[in-house]
Structure formats: C-alpha cells, structure tokens
C-alpha cells in the first residue's frame, strides 16, 4: 500500500488530446512529472511543438508533439497513424480536446453547434475507437489500460453562459463514458470521466475577460482549480489505486455542483 506503488504511472505511455494548454496541459504535466511518456496534440502546430519542448525540459521527460485536427475522423485517423508509427501500444488515452461556443438562443448558429458537437462528442468516440488496437495491446486484468474523458460540471448542472451545445455535449460525454465503460471493461480497458469546474484557461478566461474574482467568490472553497487538483485525479484514475473505478464521472470543482445551482445569464 505504498504511495509510490499504488499511484505510479512510471513508464506508462499516455496520449493527451488538447494537451498544449489548460486542463490538458495540467494532466500531461502530472504524467510527465511522474515518469510517463506523453504525446500531446492540438490544432496549432507551433504552439503544440513549443509546449512539448517546454514540458520535456521542465520535467526531464519525453513529451512529444503531434499536431492534429480531431474534429473530423480523417484528422483522428492521421493522428492515430502518427502515434502508431512511434509506439506499439499505449496505456492511457485522455480525451480532453474540446471547444465552447456562446450565443443568445435566438441567434445561435448551426456552425457553432456543429463545431462544439464534432469536437466534444464525435471526436471522443472516434478517438477511443481508433486507439483501441493500441490500448488492447497494453491491457491486462492486473494492469488495465485507461481512457479518461474530460467532461464538465456544465454537463451536470445548468451553465451560467448560453453555451447550449457545450453543456449538451458534456452531458453526452458523461453518458458515453458509462456506455463505453460497460463495453470495454470486458477487454480490461477502464473508462472514466472527470467533470472539472472552474480552472484558469483560455476558454473560460475569454468568457469572463480573465477576471476570475466573481467565480472565486461563488466557489465553496474560494479559489480556482489548480494543476494538482485535476492532475492528481488523472493519476489516480490511471494507476493501481483507480483500477476498481469504472464508468464514473468524478467532479473536480471545489464543491460547486454539490453546493449551489446555476442560472442562465439574461
């Protein structure tokens, strides 16, 4: 029952989509700091490449950049082929890449709806599907492979902003997690989800003009999420400590959902 054994991800191979910033970067950093090799991807090649170099140097570990657009199956196929050319198997897949779009209900566009649903829902399913051959190669009953889907508390409660497809997409991710878990546990692949609350990010920052004071004041623990919060949870779900946790959506929100509701802004 030693910490460095039951929570170990040393020598694991992880893929973190949307790993160049925000929560994806936080999770990738947690893996790298604890001895895993990590592949990150994002649409912007220069940013993704620079972040991989930065994280490799910071943690004296291997962070590899494979820029990709995961909003289409063609882009997912290309990304998986890139990983397959470098690895015979992977141990962990974190489906984190996502998008948000806010517009008033009377003006909400099909373009915004499709962009969010394609990246937040379709890509989660097809990324998992396409990576199954590599996950199966590492999976065993003693040490299952892992899939971690990043949902949101907006998929559980009512969001503050008018981000209709975002909340719908994250609710879909939570339920898809349960469905995938029931199917893939038979192959020693464990699927769970994390539903983060407010963390500093470009996505949330743009909505509040990077002024988090109002969010902090409403949060039961009176702060934003930290890298250790979501990174530690990802390590738990990826290690022996989490090997009996299957099909769960775990909130990581400072008590936001359990303590208060949300109302759409007028």
In order, the DSSP letters of 169-182 are HHHHHHHHHHHHHH
Domains in the chain: ranges and CATH: 3-259 (3.40.50.720)
Tell me if 176 sits within 8 A of 125, measured CB to CB. yes
pLDDT of residue 214: 80
* 166 counts as catalytic: yes
CB atoms within 10 A of CB 215: 19
Tell me if 16 sits within 8 A of 31, measured CB to CB. yes
pLDDT of residue 34: 98
pLDDT of residue 211: 76
Q: Read off the pTM.
A: 0.93
pLDDT tens track for 175-211: 999 999 999 999 999 999 999 999 987 666 555 656 7
Tell me if 147 sits within 8 A of 191, measured CB to CB. yes
Q: Give the Cα separation of 105 and 119 in Å (integer).
A: 21
User: Length of the chain in residues, anyone?
Assistant: 266
CB atoms within 10 A of CB 187: 13
Tell me if 172 sits within 8 A of 121, measured CB to CB. yes
For residue 83, what are the CA distances in angstroms to 4, 13, 133, 198? 28, 11, 12, 31
Of 61, 237, 47, 21, residue with least CA distance to 148:
237
Question: How is residue 196 annotated by DSSP?
Answer: E
Those residues of the chain that have pLDDT short of 70 are: 202-210, 260-266
For residue 50, the surrounding DSSP H or E stretch is helix 45-59
**Active site residue: 166, 212, 236, 244, which one?**
166
Kindly list the strands in the beta sheet with 189-196, ordered across the sheet, starting from the edge strand earlier in the chain: 63-65, 37-41, 13-17, 92-95, 145-150, 189-196, 249-252
């Amino acid at each position: 029952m030693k910490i460095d054994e039951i929570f170990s991800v040393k020598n694991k191979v992880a893929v973190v989509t949307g790993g160049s910033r925000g929560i994806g970067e936080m999770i990738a950093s947690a893996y790298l700091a604890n001895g895993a090799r990590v592949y990150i991807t994002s649409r912007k090649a220069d940013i993704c490449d620079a972040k991989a170099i930065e994280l490799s140097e910071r943690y004296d570990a291997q962070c590899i950049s494979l820029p990709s657009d995961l909003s289409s199956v063609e882009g997912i196929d290309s990304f998986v082929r890139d990983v397959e050319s470098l690895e015979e198997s992977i141990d962990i897949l974190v489906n984190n890449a996502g998008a948000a779009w806010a517009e008033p209900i009377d003006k909400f566009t099909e373009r915004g709806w499709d962009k969010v649903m394609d990246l937040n829902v379709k890509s989660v399913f097809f990324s998992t599907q396409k990576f199954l051959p590599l996950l199966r190669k590492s999976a065993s009953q003693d040490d299952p492979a892992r899939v971690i889907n990043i949902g949101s508390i907006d998929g559980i409660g009512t969001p503050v902003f008018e981000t209709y497809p975002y909340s719908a997409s994250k609710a879909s991710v939570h339920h898809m997690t349960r469905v995938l878990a029931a199917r893939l546990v038979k192959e020693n692949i464990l699927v769970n989800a994390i539903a983060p609350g407010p963390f500093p990010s470009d996505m949330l920052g743009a909505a509040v003009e990077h002024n988090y004071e109002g969010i902090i004041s409403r949060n039961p623990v009176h702060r934003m999420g930290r890298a250790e919060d979501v990174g530690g949870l990802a390590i738990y779900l990826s290690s022996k400590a989490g090997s009996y946790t299957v099909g769960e959506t775990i909130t990581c929100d400072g008590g936001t959902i359990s303590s208060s509701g949300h109302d759409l802004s007028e």
